[in-house]
Amino acid sequence: MSVRILALVGSLRAGSTNRQLAEAAVKVAPEGSEVALFEGLADIPFYNEDLDVEGSVPAAAAKLREAAQAADAFLLFSPEYNGTIPAVLKNAIDWLSRPYGAGAFAGKPAAVVGTAFGQFGGVWAQDEARKAVGIAGAKVIEDLKLSIPGSLTRFAETHPADDAEVAAQLTEVVARLHGHAGETVAA
């Protein structure tokens, strides 16, 4: 059975180490799964219920919802901005939490990972992202974590996919998320 995991990256920066981590996840996806990196979070307007009207949802938000509806699981990559979740990632979660009770996250497995410059690798932001995506309806896999500290130095000359330790840890995360998604799809 094929499993589609939608990757959402909370950094818009071209050289983002979290984007590189997501690219690595695409490469290490086990057979039978696909990690699809969503492009376009920068184009989605801030969530506003006045914009979220059937038939006139902004195209960028509709594209995100369509990709999320087609996904079997979610893998969020969160850096830490001032001790919390980046606005672009929170905005995506807000759009996907609607319509109330029928959002795209409903009952689907989700994991949050990431890297940050600080000594804890962005754990505060990742914890906040887990909380938000869980409230939005996802089945958060709480013990599925990967927080990589010192991103600017660790990945200054090495892509995360070429860091053997990171690649192994990320492979385990994606494989375990794949397993949870497979259980949900089969149920």
List pLDDT tens digits, range 114-164: 999 888 789 999 999 999 999 999 999 999 999 999 898 889 899 999 999
CA distances from 164 to 28, 45, 54 (A): 12, 38, 47
Give backbone dihedrals phi and psi of 59, rounded to 5 degrees, phi first: -55, -40
Task: Tell me how far apart the alpha carbons of residues 106 and 172 are, in angstroms, rounded to a whole number.
Answer: 24
What fold, for 3-186?
Answer: Rossmann fold (3.40.50)
Q: Is the peptide bond before 160 cis (omega within 30 degrees of 0)?
A: no
pLDDT on residue 150: 86
List pLDDT tens digits, range 16-45: 999 999 999 999 999 999 999 999 999 999
List pLDDT tens digits, range 84-103: 999 999 999 999 999 887 89
Per-residue pLDDT at 48 exceeds 80? yes
Query: Which residue's entry shows tokens 């979610």?
Result: 74
Note every long-range contact of 90-95, with CB atoms under 8 Å and residues 24 or more positions apart, other chains counting: 90/129, 90/132, 91/41, 91/44, 91/46, 91/47, 92/8, 92/41, 92/44, 92/64, 93/129, 93/132, 93/133, 93/136, 94/47, 94/136, 95/44, 95/47, 95/52, 95/61, 95/64, 95/65
pLDDT on residue 174: 96
Are 129 and 85 a contacting pair, CB within 8 Å?
A: yes
Q: Which of 119, 170, 114, 112 is nearest to 149 (CA)?
A: 119
Is the pTM value of this prediction over 0.85? yes
Per-residue pLDDT at 79 exceeds 90? yes
Per-residue pLDDT at 1 exceeds 80? no
CA angle 45, 46, 47 (to 5 degrees): 110
Percent of the chain whose predicted confidence (pLDDT) is above 90: 83
Can you give the residue ranges of every domain in the chain?
A: 3-186
Per-residue pLDDT at 109 exceeds 80? yes
